[in-house]
Amino acid sequence: MSDELEPIEPDEAVQMYLHERRPEVASSTLQSHEYRLKHLLRWFEQERVDKLNDRSDATCTDTSSGNRNTAT
């Protein structure tokens, strides 16, 4: 088995996450997660991230911190 992650599109990952959480949380919580994740998906689209393994955690943190600092 490879240590490499399989490429996955952001919207597919979000749907998988929501599907896994559905039996564990209230419907209002799930709706809240879905609403917030739409903003993340929009950001991925703006950054032209087609596959989640295109970015590292550090890159996402650096970019989102920079965006937050310029908005204030």
Model confidence pLDDT, tens digit, residues 10-66: 999 999 999 999 999 999 999 999 999 999 999 999 988 888 876 665 455 555 555
**pTM for the predicted model, two decimal places:** 0.67
**Structure token pair of residue 52:** 């989640």
CB atoms < 10 A from the CB of 65, how many? 10
Query: Which DSSP category does 53 fall into?
Result: G
Burial-class residue 44 by CB neighbours within 10 Å (0-12, 13-18, 19+).
buried
* CB proximity list for 6: less than 8 A, separation 6 or greater: none
Mean pLDDT of 3-13: 84
